[in-house]
């Protein structure tokens, strides 16, 4: 794997060097200045994107050749290279949250004026599903084009085939991207005769014509990736002439497709091949699988993940001992290998890395002295000793996550390490361990760069020996039961970039000494350690520049942390529940927090006028003592997605300009003293709003009809206000005509001044989990079709003027756990059966003098079925078949729900913040 990466890096660098060598040879002493046209073109591009990480902050002044990420020809001053790649550090940025990238609706056409471009890299940015622009085909001098992982979609423009000088083309993406590139005819590839590197990973080629041209017409090709392209065996049908098939290719990735059955013979003539990925090629259906294994095992790097392999395929009898000795890197993950460690692997003398994750191994792992990397995660090992961790002296990377060892580790003399020194650079043991980690052995891992022990049940104190790991860059001890204090020696780890001790029981005081030499620190997560205190002086100037900081649910002394004003790159800041008081400091206005700002659950006071000038994607200020009105300056945060100002002392009206927040997913203003009518501008038809919570304020007027434009709404809470109007007219007419609110799962309109009958149409919202219409002035009966709301968990109609019997269909609500029908004028016998039998509290029905039957003490006078006396004629007219409508409701709810939380899948610490809040109060975030 290391050789493969080195090859790719060398290839790309060589191409770039050749493309630019003439500029170096002919460069004069004084560099030329870029033209006005190209400078304006770059500035237009800059203004067309949202620069999340200030990647383009140097793009000021008259000479664009002096700007970062821009390179010009030193003679002509023409722009030749644009290095606009997003996150370069995927380990930190992708897994742990914030990403450095550009966000745009499309690639600005202004770039077409850069006619001398030779190098263009827009990878790892976010272009929101837009198409690759056709004008890219006009860059005749282009030799390097990288648009990978940039969220493009649609058909690849055939104009790319005009780039006859192209040597590197990367359009690849990952398997879980929500956007998909495709090609219906790949004949454009014939124009790229000089191409050496082609990556079309996860481009849909399932219906593309002329796919075989990739194999026949690319004589210079050395690297080809067609992973996850939707290819089948039919793709191999035209590749029988093996003598002309990719003779010079060194790297071939065909993994993640739909191949099965017989294996093509042309692999055998690829004498230059060094890397072959056939993952998801179903070996079990092939008659010649054993012979083929002997063939493919002659490549230095081989990936056979999820190929239906079993231990029998890996027995030494079936493999040629000469060919297998060539293998250096082998991926056998996600197969059916069970029991003992495959004996054939121990005979592969050249083996450097093995991936056996997601199998069913459970026996002792042998020591292989030359092995450098080993992944045994998601297996069935019962004890850490089974993987020989204390005997693996030569391994540089070991991953044994998600094995759930049944036997606790102990720090006893019996487990003394057999290695005087370890070679480990990265050690991942997440969600597997119990007990105390071997402290002495940890101290001998002085080469460690990355240590991850998250999600275990580790006890004993915080390991003192961590202070001896001078090369450590990433440390993750989150979600454990560690106690004691953090040793000051951790402040001497000069290379530490990332530390996460979230959710432990660590105590003591953190001082300046704990950060003394952490100049490389960028990500700091010490949240949810309630006994931990941070005590630094107000004059302290830290040596680091953080990108993300989460200090929530600890104790911070000396008020609002003054040291934060020195952090010029901070994008994510969480100080929730840290006991800070007083007004927001004025210097907070200049903070660059554009990802997440969470100051909730404190005792902050005063107005919100000192919030950062730059908008954040998520702002959580709930549970404080903020007063005065919502400032107009908040309207500048046009990219806001989550806004929570609940449980403060805010007054006045909602500013109409909040309607500028087109991306808003959640707006929560509950439990304030806001008043007036809800501005129609904040409820635009194109809104992405999923949660609207205005509960417990002083809003007046009729229920806003603009709510009917929010077709993706999941949670609606307008309770405890002074809204008026007829609910039958508001819901009945609009729901019938527009079919809206189909995705709503929680609706609270309680404690208002609503009148009218409960609309029968409301009963069609079968996705509803919670419905609260209590304490209004509603009359009429409970609709007979109440039983249609199958998902209902909580139902409250109390404090109204409802009449008639309780419909028998209410017994069909099998998930009902909370019911309140008290203080109405209901009559007749209380229905019995199913889930209703478990709700035995008489207070559910109190205040209805004509109700009888259990659980009330009042017996009914006769056994006549009281419910047949009442017919809801209005309900009868709405008993048409709604099967397809209900299916639409459930599908829509799933889509809407994923829309709210989908982005959190890649935001680890945002998940912690959002879901821990969910547990505190249902449906508030």
Cα gap 725→550, rounded to integer Å: 45
pLDDT digits (tens, 9 = 90+) for 702-716: 888 778 777 778 898
Instruction: Mention every residue, 6+ apart, whose C-beta is less than 8 A from residue 890.
Output: 766, 767
pLDDT digits (tens, 9 = 90+) for 214-251: 877 777 899 999 999 988 877 665 555 555 567 788 99
Q: What's residue 293's pLDDT? A: 61
In this prediction, residue 459 has a pLDDT band, given cuts at 50, 70 and 90, of confident
Residue 667 lies in a domain: no
Range from 199-208, 257-266, 339-348, 888-897 carrying the lowest mean pLDDT: 888-897
Contact predicate 314/332, CB 8 Å:
yes
SS3 of 783-850: the string is CHHHHHCCCCCEEECCCCCCEECCCHHHHHCCCCCEEECCCCEEEEECCCCHHHHHCCCHHHCCCCCE
The answer, yes or no, to whether residue 92 has pLDDT greater than 60, is no
- Which residue carries 């002074």 as its tokens? 722
- Which residue carries 């079709």 as its tokens? 785
Global pTM? 0.77
Residue 182 lies in a domain: yes
The answer, yes or no, to whether residue 789 has pLDDT greater than 70, is yes
Contact predicate 106/133, CB 8 Å:
yes
pLDDT digits (tens, 9 = 90+) for 753-772: 999 999 888 888 878 899 99
Q: What's residue 516's pLDDT? A: 92
Cα gap 197→11, rounded to integer Å: 8
Percent of the chain topping pLDDT 70: 80
Average pLDDT over all residues of the chain: 81
Q: What's residue 895's pLDDT? A: 39
Q: What's residue 262's pLDDT? A: 66
Expressed as residue numbers, the domain containing 798 is 724-857
Q: What's residue 103's pLDDT? A: 85
Residue 814 lies in a domain: yes
Q: What's residue 898's pLDDT? A: 41
In this prediction, residue 278 has a pLDDT band, given cuts at 50, 70 and 90, of confident
Q: What's residue 891's pLDDT? A: 41
The answer, yes or no, to whether residue 55 has pLDDT greater than 70, is yes
Q: Which of 683, 694, 689, 705 is nearest to 751 (CA)?
A: 694
The answer, yes or no, to whether residue 419 has pLDDT greater than 90, is no
Residue 69 lies in a domain: yes
Count of all residues that appear for the chain in the document: 925
Cα gap 219→10, rounded to integer Å: 20
Please give the residue that has the higher pLDDT: either 339 or 778: 778
The answer, yes or no, to whether residue 783 has pLDDT greater than 50, is yes
The answer, yes or no, to whether residue 291 has pLDDT greater than 80, is no
In this prediction, residue 653 has a pLDDT band, given cuts at 50, 70 and 90, of very high
Mean pLDDT of all residues in 740-746: 78
The answer, yes or no, to whether residue 257 has pLDDT greater than 70, is yes
In this prediction, residue 630 has a pLDDT band, given cuts at 50, 70 and 90, of very high
Residue 127 lies in a domain: yes
Contact predicate 143/170, CB 8 Å:
no
Residue 248 lies in a domain: no
Residue 120 lies in a domain: yes
Residue 311 has phi, psi (to 5 degrees) of -60, -30
The answer, yes or no, to whether residue 429 has pLDDT greater than 80, is yes
Give me the CATH number covering residue 55.
Answer: 3.80.10.10
Cα gap 442→466, rounded to integer Å: 7
The answer, yes or no, to whether residue 50 has pLDDT greater than 70, is yes
Which of the listed residues 837, 857, 877 is the one where a domain comes to its end?
857
pLDDT digits (tens, 9 = 90+) for 478-506: 988 888 898 889 999 999 999 998 888 88
The answer, yes or no, to whether residue 94 has pLDDT greater than 70, is no
Cα gap 846→412, rounded to integer Å: 64
The answer, yes or no, to whether residue 441 has pLDDT greater than 70, is yes
Which of the listed residues 806, 836, 857 is the one where a domain comes to its end?
857
Residue 738 lies in a domain: yes
Percent of the chain topping pLDDT 90: 44
Which of the listed residues 857, 882, 914 is the one where a domain comes to its end?
857
Range from 66-70, 94-98, 328-332, 803-807 carrying the lowest mean pLDDT: 94-98
What's the structural domain count of the chain? 2
Q: What's residue 417's pLDDT? A: 65
In this prediction, residue 565 has a pLDDT band, given cuts at 50, 70 and 90, of very high
pLDDT digits (tens, 9 = 90+) for 842-889: 999 999 999 999 899 888 875 444 444 343 333 333 333 333 333 333
């Amino acid at each position: 794997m290391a050789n493969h990466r080195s090859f790719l890096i060398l290839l790309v660098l060589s191409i770039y060097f050749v493309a630019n060598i003439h500029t170096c040879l002919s460069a004069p002493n004084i560099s030329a200045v870029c033209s006005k046209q190209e400078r304006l073109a770059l500035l237009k591009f800059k203004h067309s994107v949202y620069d999340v990480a200030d990647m383009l902050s140097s793009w000021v002044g008259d000479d664009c050749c002096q700007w970062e990420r821009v390179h010009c020809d030193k003679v002509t001053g023409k722009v030749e290279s644009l290095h606009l790649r997003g996150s370069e550090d995927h380990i930190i940025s992708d897994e742990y949250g914030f990403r450095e990238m550009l966000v745009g609706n499309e690639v600005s056409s202004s770039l077409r004026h850069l006619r001398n471009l030779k190098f263009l890299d827009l990878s790892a940015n976010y272009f929101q599903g837009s198409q690759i622009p056709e004008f890219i085909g006009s860059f005749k001098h282009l030799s390097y084009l990288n648009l990978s992982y940039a969220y493009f979609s649609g058909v690849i423009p055939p104009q790319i085939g005009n780039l006859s000088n192209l040597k590197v083309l990367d359009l690849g993406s990952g398997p879980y991207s929500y956007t998909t590139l495709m090609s219906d005819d790949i004949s454009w590839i014939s124009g790229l005769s000089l191409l050496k590197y082609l990556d079309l990973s996860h481009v849909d080629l399932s219906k593309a014509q002329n796919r075989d041209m990739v194999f026949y017409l690319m004589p210079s090709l050395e690297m080809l990736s067609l992973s996850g392209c939707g290819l089948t065996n039919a793709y191999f049908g035209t590749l029988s002439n093996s003598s002309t098939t990719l003779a010079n290719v060194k790297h071939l990735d065909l993994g993640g497709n739909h191949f099965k059955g017989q294996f093509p013979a042309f692999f055998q003539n690829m004498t230059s091949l060094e890397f072959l990925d056939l993952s998801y090629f179903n070996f079990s259906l092939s008659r010649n699988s054993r012979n083929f294994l002997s063939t493919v095992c002659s490549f230095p790097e081989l990936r056979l993940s999820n190929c239906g392999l079993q231990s029998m395929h890996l027995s030494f009898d079936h493999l040629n001992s000469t060919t297998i000795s060539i293998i250096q890197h082998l991926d056998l993950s996600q197969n059916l290998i069970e029991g003992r460690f495959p004996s054939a692997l121990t005979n592969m003398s050249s083996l450097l890395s093995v991936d056996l994750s997601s199998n069913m191994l459970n026996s002792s792992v042998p020591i292989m002295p030359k092995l450098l990397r080993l992944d045994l995660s998601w297996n069935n090992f019962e004890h850490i000793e089974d993987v020989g961790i204390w005997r693996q002296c030569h391994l540089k990377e070991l991953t044994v996550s998600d094995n759930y060892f049944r036997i606790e580790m102990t720090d006893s003399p019996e487990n003394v390490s057999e290695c005087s020194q370890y070679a480990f650079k990265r050690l991942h043991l997440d969600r597997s361990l119990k007990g105390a980690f071997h402290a002495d052995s940890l101290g001998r891992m002085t080469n460690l760069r990355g240590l991850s022990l998250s999600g275990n049940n580790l006890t004993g104190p915080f390991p003192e020996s961590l202070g001896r790991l001078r090369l450590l860059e990433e440390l993750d001890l989150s979600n454990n039961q560690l106690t004691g204090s953090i040793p000051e020696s951790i402040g001497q780890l000069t290379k530490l970039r990332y530390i996460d001790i979230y959710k432990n029981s660590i105590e003591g005081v953190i001082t300046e000494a704990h950060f003394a030499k952490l100049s490389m620190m960028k990500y700091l997560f010490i949240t949810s350690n309630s006994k931990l205190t941070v005590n630094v002086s107000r004059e302290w100037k830290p040596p680091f520049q953080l990108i993300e900081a989460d200090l929530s649910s600890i104790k911070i002394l000396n008020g609002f942390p003054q040291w934060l004003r020195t952090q010029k790159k901070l994008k994510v800041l969480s100080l929730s529940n840290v006991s800070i008081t007083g007004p927001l400091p004025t210097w907070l206005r200049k903070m660059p927090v554009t990802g997440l700002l969470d100051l909730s659950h404190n005792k902050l006071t005063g107005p919100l006028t000192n919030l950062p000038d730059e908008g954040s994607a998520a702002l959580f200020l709930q549970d404080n003592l903020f007063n005065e009105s919502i400032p107009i300056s908040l309207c500048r945060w046009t990219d806001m997605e989550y806004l929570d100002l609940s449980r403060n002392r805010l007054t006045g009206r909602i500013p109409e300009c909040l309607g500028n927040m087109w991306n808003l997913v959640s707006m929560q203003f509950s439990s304030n003293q806001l008043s007036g009518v809800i501005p129609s501008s904040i409820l635009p038809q194109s809104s992405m709003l999923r949660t609207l919570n205005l509960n417990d304020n002083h809003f007046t007027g009729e229920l806003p009809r603009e709510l009917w434009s929010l077709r993706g709404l999941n949670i609606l809470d307008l309770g405890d206000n002074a809204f008026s109007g007829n609910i039958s007219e508001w819901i009945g007419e609009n729901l019938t005509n527009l079919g809206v609110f189909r995705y709503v799962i929680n609706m609270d309109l309680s404690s208002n001044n609503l009148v009218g009958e409960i609309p029968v149409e409301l009963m069609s919202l079968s996705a509803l989990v919670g419905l609260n219409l209590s304490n209004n002035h509603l009359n009429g009966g409970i609709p007979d079709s109440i039983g249609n709301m199958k998902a209902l968990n909580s139902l409250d109609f109390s404090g109204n003027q409802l009449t008639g019997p309780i419909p028998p269909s209410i017994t069909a609500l099998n998930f009902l756990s909370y019911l309140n029908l008290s203080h109405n004028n209901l009559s007749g016998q209380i229905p019995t059966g199913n889930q209703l039998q478990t709700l035995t509290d008489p207070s559910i029905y109190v205040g209805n003098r004509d109700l009888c039957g259990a659980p009330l003490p009042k017996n009914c006078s006769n056994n006549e079925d009281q419910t047949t006396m009442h017919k809801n004629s209005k309900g009868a007219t709405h008993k048409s078949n709604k099967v397809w409508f209900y299916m639409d409701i459930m599908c829509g709810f799933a889509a809407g729900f994923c829309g709210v939380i989908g982005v959190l899948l890649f935001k680890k610490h945002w998940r912690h913040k959002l879901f821990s809040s969910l547990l505190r109060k249902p449906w508030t975030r």
